[in-house]
Chains A and B, each alone.
Chain A
Amino acid sequence: MAADVPVPAEMAQAATTHTAPRRLVLDVLNDWVTTVDHKKIGLMYIGYALVFLVVAGIQALLMRIQLSLPNNDFVSPQAFNSLFTMHGTTMVFFVGMPILFGFGNYLVPLMIGARDMAFPRLNAFSFWISAFGGILLYFSYFGASGLYGAGSAPDVGWFAYAPLTARVFSPGHSTDYWTLAILLSGIGSIGTALNIVATTICMRCPGMKLSRMPLLVWLYLVTSSLVFVAVSPLTAAQIMLMLDRYVGSHFFDTQAGGSAVLWMHFFWIFGHPEVYILILPAFAFANEIIPVFSRKAIFGYAAMVAASVGIGFISLSVWAHHMFTVGLGPGANTFFVLATMIISVPTGIKLFNWLATLWGGKIHFTASMMFAIGFLFQFLIAGLTGVMLSIAPFDWQLGNSYFVVAHFHYVLVGGILFMIFSAFYYWFPKMSGRMLSEKLGKWHFWIFLIGFHLTFDFMHVPGVLGMPRRIYTYEADRGWMIWNMIISSGAIFQAAGTLLFVYNMIWSYFKGPIAGPDPWDAWTLEWSTPSPPPAYNFAEIPTVASRRPLWDLKHPEDPDSNYE
């Protein structure tokens, strides 16, 4: 309306957003702490994970500074041991899991046309118990040795092999903080996973058959089901470890006949499916983002679902490829070699389906899509080194070397983190109502890409040259220095890229262009709500007739339901 026309007071008030009384900080805080809204809990998961991402990223930087030169003493050996333990533990349990559950919490109900999760209060409980676990882990820096004197962080490595964790070798309480933190985060993970499965099965809007669910929801269903059978063994093993340390039982006490190898089995029965728990949500993001920016429906929906479920099952039978160097005997080795190779088949199916989705599409190179394409390329390489390492004799040569570190960081950073960045550029407009800056996003992509390849491409080399992982420093005459220097310099690029991303998020939250409900012209139900969605999500519960309900809505002359 024109500025010079007087308007009635009520209308003027409604048109002016700033007249609403500003809420007190305590009110806002109370709102967030007591919320059971899946969107707010999702955002808290994501925010909490981002804080830990920065913390664990700084730990990685400190380690890279220490290793950039031979005979360096930038940090003490003790500090180095806690650094790699805390970096690994934090990244897996307090960055990877919460950020993925955060997106799941936010997106799953919106995508299936539900107003909230199946168990909203359980959802809040799961978040807070996980958050408490993370804080407990970091409290060990102050409290782990008993409150007098300085504390010490856990230093047993993220897989905490026995007998390192026995009381004799790990006095004080640092290992107990580690155990309790993971136990709590595990309880939270199981709670959220249960919630996601129940939501997916019981809360779908009319017409949303399983065969019409967005692939993201399918993948969250698989990943959450994996959580039950993968995280629970870890919980059991942590209970055993606590009993060993506090009550004096002998599960992992080799002196009384206990077995250190049993811990390895228990840990990796969790540890390997865990990798898939982390990567499946990354696949989930790719399944939504790549079709939208290729302007094509996903290629091979049914094959994608089958491959996801297949990965879920096979991932339960590959754990001992982490243990080839233990000496399991030829029978067990052969089994785990073959199982590990077989799992690359469904993964390959996915990769080809994404390529087929891109093929002939009208590709929009947004920042989100660039990260997704980076993911495709890097995940392929990560998978190929994975197949190399699955061959037991090859693993005997390179197990526990920097080649392995390079391989799994290629998966975790090149695969998962790239896809998480992609997801941020894609869904940030939905979550905040404002677009992220595309220009900064592209800078972020290129800087991070250069940093990533400097670090993790070259990290394979010292591994092949024999550099073991987790060493504090090395002699100058080993010939590893130049490689470590390159690796460390790449870390600086990655840090710069991440800073740019954080700046972009903060700037765009306040100053970014208004997104509107559907900035990408996408097809799934979350884009039918305003950005950010209201607390109840949908004023009217939607009804769907195909896998792309918004396509049907926008193209009533040619709905998808004619073809499915």
Chain B
Amino acid sequence: MSQAAVIPNVTTPEWELPSRGVVGMVCLIVAEAAIFTIFVVAYLYYVGKDRSGPTPREVLDLPIFTSICLLSSSLTVHFAVAALHQARRGLCSLWLAATVLLGGIFLGGTAHEWYTLIYHDGLTIQTNLFGTTFYSLVGLHASHVIIGLIMLTLALIFSLNGSMTSKHTGRLEVLSLYWHFVDAVWVVVFTVVYILGR
């Protein structure tokens, strides 16, 4: 019959294991980082190999303001988690709203940049290798921003209607990890596309 493997006289006083949410998110981040790496490698591999224009130097402007917005949203989401941890729900909602706003500004900046590139500079994904790699890399990042914004907005709604309390701090922290990752990827994309690639 069934024997439970309980070994007597063994005491394990503290048995604390890491939070599975954090571990799961770290795993996801590693996998996503590998995807981004491949797109970055493709960008660097093809940079300067175009047979026709436009080239990055001709059409790309440094998106400094929107980058600052995105990077500072890492801070605001951190403050939101801290506020939730201290059970200050109003403050948490405020910081979450700020995060969503900053992320939204970044996304708006990307939309404006793409609009200009497509309608004024005539650069589409089909135009040349620069177009191919630029839109796919920046687009991959932007799609991650969109997913993050959807989740942050949900968190904001839950925070406003009071269903998110300080016992959910761990979960909001997992979401904030994702958001930090999206911001960190932007540092890489910014460096590769707007500095090295230009």
Given contacts A202-B18, A206-B12, A233-B37, contact A249 B132 (CB under 8 A): yes
Interface string of A157-187 (1 = CB under 8 A from B): 0000000000000000000000000000000
> At the interface, yes or no: B161 with Cβ under 8 Å from chain A?
no
How many Å from the CB of A115 to the closest CB on chain B?
A: 13
In the complex, A225→B27 CA distance in Å?
A: 8
- CB pair A201–B23 under 8 Å, yes or no, is yes
Which residue of A has the minimal Cβ distance to B136?
A243
Among listed B43-51, B60-68, B99-107, B176-184, interface-contacting one: B43-51
Question: B17 touches which one: A204, A250, A528 (CB < 8 A)?
Answer: A204
Q: Is the CB of B12 within 8 A of A198?
A: no
* A residues in contact with B39, CB < 8 Å: 236, 240
Instruction: Map CB proximity to A onto B21-40 as digits: 1 under 8 Å, 0 otherwise.
Output: 00110011011101111110
Contacts of B17 in A (CB 8 A): 201-204
Q: Are A197 and B125 in contact (CB under 8 A)?
A: no
Cα–Cα distance between A196 and B32 once the two chains are bound (Å): 17
| CB contact between A228 and one of B15, B34, B36, B46 (< 8 Å): that residue | B34
For the complex formed, measure the closest distance between the CB of B66 and the CB atoms of chain A, giving whole angstroms. Answer: 24
CA distance A243 to B42 in the complex (A): 14
Of B2, B19, B46, B136, which one neighbours A517 at CB under 8 angstroms?
A: B2
| CB of A262 closer than 8 Å to a CB of B | yes
Count how many chain B residues have C-beta atoms less than 8 Å from C-beta atoms of the other chain: 43
Instruction: List which A207-247 residues lie within 8 A (CB) of chain B.
Output: 207, 225, 227-233, 235-237, 239-240, 243, 247
A38 to B16, CA, bound (A): 23
Q: Do B4 and A118 touch across chains, with their CB atoms under 8 A apart?
A: no
In Å, the complex CA distance between A133 and B89 comes to 43
Task: List, in ascending order, chain A residues with CB within 8 A of B163's CB.
Answer: none
**Residue B169 interfacial (CB < 8 Å):** no
Q: Take A228-B34, A262-B45 as given contacts and tell me if A249 and B15 are in contact as well, using a CB distance cutoff of 8 Å.
A: no
**B11 CB to nearest A CB, Å:** 9
Cα–Cα distance between A203 and B49 once the two chains are bound (Å)? 50
Given A249-B136, A250-B132, residue A544 in contact with residue B5 (CB < 8 A)? yes
CA distance A199 to B27 in the complex (A): 12
Does A553 have its Cβ within 8 Å of any Cβ on chain B?
A: yes
Provide the residues of chain A in CB contact with B32, threshold 8 Å. Answer: 232
Binds B, one of A251-259, A347-355, A426-434: A251-259
| CB of A528, distance to nearest CB on chain B (Å) | 4
- Contact A198/B7 with A262-B45, A539-B2 known, Cβ cut-off 8 Å: no
- A interface residues, tally (CB under 8 Å): 61
CA–CA, A237 and B5, complex, Å: 47
Asked if B128 is at the interface of the complex by the 8 Å CB criterion, the answer is yes
Is A457 part of the binding interface, using a Cβ–Cβ cutoff of 8 Å? no
Closest to B50 in A: A257
**Which of B12, B27, B32, B35 has the most chain A CB atoms closer than 10 A to its own CB?**
B27
The answer to whether A194 touches B10, judged by C-beta atoms less than 8 angstroms apart, is no
Confirm or deny: B129 has a beta carbon within 8 angstroms of a beta carbon on chain A.
yes
Closest to A227 in B: B31
Cβ of A256 and Cβ of B136 under 8 Å apart?
no
Residue from A236, A542, A543 whose CB has the most chain B CB atoms within 10 Å: A236
Query: Closest approach, in angstroms, between the C-beta of B144 and any C-beta of chain A?
Result: 13
Interface check A190, CB cutoff 8 A? yes
Bound state CA distance, A190 and B35, in angstroms? 12
Bound form: Cα–Cα A202–B17 in Å = 5
Q: Is A300 an interface residue (CB 8 A)?
A: no
Instruction: Find out whether the CB atom of A539 lies under 8 angstroms from the CB atom of B129.
Output: no
Residues of chain B within 8 A of A250, CB atoms compared: 126, 128-129, 132
Q: How far is the CB of B146 from chain A (nearest CB, A)?
A: 16
For residue A479, which residues in chain B have a CB less than 8 angstroms away from its CB?
none
A393 at the interface (CB under 8 A from B): no
Contact of B27 among A198, A251, A559 (CB under 8 A): A198
Please, could you name 17 A-B residue pairs with CB atoms under 8 Å apart, sorted by A? A193-B27, A194-B27, A198-B27, A202-B23, A203-B17, A207-B7, A236-B34, A243-B136, A249-B132, A251-B132, A256-B51, A257-B46, A530-B2, A538-B4, A543-B10, A543-B12, A549-B7
Known: A240-B39, A259-B45, A540-B4. 6 other contacts (CB 8 A): A194-B24, A228-B27, A233-B37, A240-B42, A251-B133, A538-B4
6 closest residue pairs by CB, A with B = A232-B34, A236-B38, A249-B132, A202-B20, A228-B31, A542-B5
